[in-house]
Amino acid sequence: MHVLTVPVTSFMQNTRFITCQSTGKSAVIDPGGDVDKLQSVIAQNKLDVEVILLTHGHLDHVGAADLLKAVLKVDIIGPHQDETFWFEAIPMQAQMFGFKPKQAFLPDRWLTAGDVVKVGKLELEVRFCPGHTPGHVVFYEKSSKTVIVGDVLFKGAIGRTDFPKGNTEQLKESIRKELFSLPDETVVMSGHGENTTIGYEKQNNPFMSGRFG
């Protein structure tokens, strides 16, 4: 699996372009904004995007999804249906986060725990990780030992839970059950900041060890 990371908007949210190297098929994960920038990346790299995938409904992760869908003529898939609240609140989010006014939209298909999304020959296992938001999912690609986690887990930190419907204990349980059960060498690609590994976070994350929070 080839991964291209493009930070977007003032929130520096990591939009990921993942590509199956045997078929050339690609997916865009969490296109949070700057649609012109994302279209340039697609054109310059000659990416054959067949789907848009979303980890959760916060605007800095979904802000360009509907615009890209219209241009690329592909479906928006994910997250879990419990995220409906955040998609319906997109106009409020735009005002709250200082984005331009934006209308609400919904994905073409919701995901549930255990679903598998195929991108070319890649198989992305869907793991349900509520806590940061109620319908957050992550995408685990076993062959490359990579998990794309949105705002669940960061290097040395965990996702915020002070937004509506956030839950700290639920988030920690999601991390313990769905992420810390993965092999230690698994690369964690977070929605903001640098990559880390499952093993590093199990040993060093102060929020999960009880040192913080």
How far apart are the C-alpha atoms of 179 and 197, rounded to whole Å? 10
In this prediction, residue 209 carries a pLDDT of 82
Q: CB–CB of 147/182 below 8 Å?
A: yes
Give me 121's structure tokens.
């020959």
Long-range own/partner contacts, residues 110-118 (CB < 8 A, 24 or more apart): 110/78, 110/79, 110/80, 110/81, 110/83, 110/135, 111/77, 111/78, 111/79, 111/80, 111/137, 112/80, 112/81, 113/80, 113/137, 117/27, 117/51, 117/53, 117/77, 117/78
Domain extent at residue 168: 2-209
pLDDT tens figures, 5-48 = 999 999 999 999 999 999 999 999 999 999 999 999 999 999 99
Model-level pTM greater than 0.95?
yes
Q: Which CATH number is 141's domain given?
A: 3.60.15.10
What total of structural domains would you count in the chain? 1
pLDDT tens figures, 149-182 = 999 999 999 999 999 999 999 999 999 999 999 9
pLDDT at residue 102 greater than cutoff 70:
yes
C-alpha distances out from residue 11 to 1, 72, 146, 159, 193, Å: 26, 24, 23, 14, 10
Average pLDDT (136-149) is 98
